[in-house]
Amino acid sequence: MMLSKLAFKNVKTQFSYYLMYFVSMAFSVMVYYSFVSMSFDEALLTRASNDMRIDAGLRSGSVMIILFIILFMFSANSFFVKRRKREIGLYNLLGMRKSQIGTLFFVENMILGIFALITGILLGVVFSKLFAMLLLKAIQVPISSSFIFSLEAMLNTIIVFMIILGIVSIRTGATVYRYKLITLFKADQQSDGNYQIKWYNWVFGLIGISLLITGYTLAKRFLDFMIWMELTYNTQGMSMLIGPLLILLICVIGTYLTFGHFLAIVLFLVRKMKAHYYKDINMVTTGNLSFHLKKNAMTFATIAVLSGTALAAIAGAASVQSFTLELSDSTNPASYSVTTPYYKEVKQVLKEEKAEILNEATLNFKYVGAKIGYTINGEHEEEDSFYNVMSLSNYKEVQKLIPKAKPIELKEEKDVVILGGSNQVYLDQVVTFDKAGTLGTIGKVNIIEAQADYLGNVRDMRLSYNAIVVTDALYQKLNAKYSYDYHLINVKGADENETLAKTSLKKLNHLSDKKSYIIGNTVYKNGNMVDEVKELEQVTEDTLPKGYSKRDAFSIRYPYHNSLVKSTGLLIYVAVFLGMVFMIATGSIITLKQLSEAEDETSRYSMLRKLGTPRQMIKRSIYKQNFIVFFAPLLVSLLHAYFALQVLFVLIGKPTLLLTYISVAFLIIIYVAFYFATSSSYNKIVNS
């Protein structure tokens, strides 16, 4: 009973110190409960999960929160115990047994944890509607949500966090039990920070910064690095996986060596700059920084690596969404695509549904054989293939409907441009087309450029292989055994209008079975291409011959676009909340470290004031010191995230980055808030 009273008293009197820890714990519990409660809400899942299982994504996020909270609680409790070593020693001198002291700390930790658990669950219930609405907004499901109270989710949260609390509390009590009395009273001894730099500090420090520069350079030139690996080691495509992992390993090792040795060298060199070192109280600031960085190098390096991973994950999720939505636009550039025989029928259905048509365009293709050579990874290839050929005037007409399609100018009659793939970086740096090729009955043509293909409908409305844009004069002269066309129709708000999509699909469902099949062969002969093309009739999937090509009569963008929005929206939702939990927790760890050491430095700053140092000068010194402590890991983590994205952009292309910037800026704001709160509290402790 006496231990319980003492534990409650200790928590109450030291709550201001535990505040950041408590806030981080409560926030984590709130997010965890919200994720679990939504994964148990059958009404929400039924409505939101027509195209995907969001409960799996939410539960995966919950597992990540659990893993991180375990790491955070173990780290935070280690700081608390180290800070209270002298208090533990006093309990020993007053006659308390080690088992009683261990039990006291166990009870304190359980009280604080249970309080955070209750607060987090209450906040989770209060904000459940907000979290659900944010999720529905992220996956673009147009329904409202009510407050979510799930007894099953509450029990799940209580059981999980009580198990974690129990494990952490037992470890804390065991740590206290193992301390020796002489160790406890040496806890407050602190170096002046002016330790000598050894030769191995120079070696490992320079290796560390060199590794970071190497890793960043490889990331910036990842495409060249990947091609070099393929040509040198014949990795058979595995360079896409091996390359990023190798860069990650280099950067992680470089980070630990940089924080462990290189920053100490930098501060050593600062001390050699006498004009700066002896100005104001920079001597004290530099000494404190040296001490903090030496003592906490591993922690800061870990925070930099994990923060960089979190920022890269969030930015990567935002980039992946931008990329996939751009891919959706490239795949289906218009709301509806339909061949000429069924064009009027689709227009009539849209008229009945009062859909507002924004613009239309018609694509006309001649399916013609060509012999075009190209070089990839140093190997030259040349093959006879069919191409979808369109005129320049038709391309410019379609370009009005597809703004992403790049402008094309053809000066000479036999100039052509190849459209292939959706990754312009790949076309610019990996593939090199020959300057000339053979096209149909025209013969030799000049290939002036290769561009990404944004005309779309490669999977449904168009026949297989790439497209070629030619001059109008050349298009008229080009003989083709097979020609075809289809119409693009853009409808206002079609990507968000589920009702219109379902109704039109129901009315036009019979068009889904309308397909055209052809089989063709093209060979180079006497400077021209000789084509044989035959349209297949009355065939089934089982009777189709080898090498056939297929095109659909009708396509709608909504199903594909909507599935991408939902999957990537869920990815961003989980990533952002995990990032918030992570940044708040890592900010709390640095805050706890700084405030713990602030109390140890009170006497030093008190001596400075007695010597006549102005309080404002001390305040500036404190803010400067905390700035380095907070933003050195943040700067490295931002660099890690930036260069990780450079690797990602090589793999998926560079998408629109607005959402990435917003997500990262929001998390940085959280970190900045921790910096100012910590600096203010630090100043109050040592400068009051």
Could you tell me what percent of the chain has a pLDDT over 70?
89
Q: For 529-594, give the secondary structure using H, E and C.
A: EEEEEEEECCCCCCCCCCCEEEEECEEECHHHHHHHHHHHHHHHHHHHHHHHHHHHHHHHHHHHHH
Q: Cβ neighbours of residue 579 under 8 Å, at least 6 residues apart?
A: 310, 311, 313, 314, 663, 667
Which of 130-144, 258-272, 443-457 tops mean pLDDT?
443-457
What does the pLDDT look like over 587-637, one tens digit per residue?
888 887 787 777 777 777 788 787 777 888 888 888 888 888 888 898 999
φ/ψ (deg, to 5) at 603: -65, -35
Rounded Cα distance between 626 and 193, Å, is: 16
Q: Which residues does 399 contact at the CB level (< 8 Å), separation at least 6?
A: 405, 407
Mean model confidence pLDDT for the chain: 82
Block residue for tokens 């409505």: 47
pLDDT in tens, 257-275: 999 888 888 877 877 777 7
Confidence check: pLDDT of 142 > 80 = no
Pairing state between β 554-556 and 336-338: antiparallel
* Average pLDDT for 419-436: 75
- Residue 440, pLDDT above cutoff 80: yes
Task: Give helix 558-600 / helix 282-295 axis angle, nearest 10°.
Answer: 120
What residues have CB less than 8 Å from 147, skipping those under 6 apart? 125, 126, 128, 129
- Is the pLDDT at 322 greater than 80? The verdict is no
Query: What is the per-residue pLDDT for 145?
Result: 57
The CB density around residue 200, as the number of other CB atoms within 10 Å, is 9
Among 141-155, 201-215, 405-419, 453-467, the minimum mean pLDDT is found in: 141-155
Across the range 329-355, mean pLDDT stands at 90
Long-range CB contacts (within 8 A, 24+) of 58-64: 58/570, 58/574, 59/35, 60/574, 61/35, 61/574, 61/577, 61/578, 62/32, 62/35, 62/36, 64/574, 64/578
Q: Are 390 and 364 in contact (CB under 8 A)?
A: yes
Closest to 61 (Cα-Cα) out of 43, 40, 34, 41: 34
- Confidence label for 486 from pLDDT (cuts 50, 70 and 90): very high
pLDDT band at residue 16 under the 50/70/90 scheme:
confident
In the predicted structure, residue 185 carries a pLDDT above the cut 70: no
- Look at 686 and 249; give whichever has higher pLDDT: 249
Q: What is the pTM of this model?
A: 0.73
pLDDT tier for residue 181 given thresholds of 50, 70 and 90 = low
Is residue 415 over pLDDT 90?
Answer: yes
Give me the residues paired with residue 98 across strands: none
Mean of pLDDT values over 519-523: 90
536 pLDDT higher than 70: yes
Region 246-258 average pLDDT? 94
Q: Using H for helix, E for strand and C for coil, what is the string for 119-152?
A: HHHHHHHHCHHHHHHHHHHHCCCCCCCCCCCCHH
Residue 43 has pLDDT above 70, yes or no: no
Cα-Cα-Cα-Cα torsion 599, 600, 602, 608, nearest 10 degrees, comes to -150
**What is d(CA 251, CA 258) in angstroms, rounded to the nearest whole number?**
10
Both tokens of 645, joined, read 């994205």
Q: For the sheet with 528-536, list strands across it.
A: 528-536, 515-525, 548-552
In the structure encoding, which two tokens stand for residue 482, read together?
A: 């097979």
Evaluate if residue 216 carries a pLDDT over 60.
Answer: yes
Asked if residue 426 lies in contact with residue 650, where contact means CB atoms within 8 angstroms, the answer is no
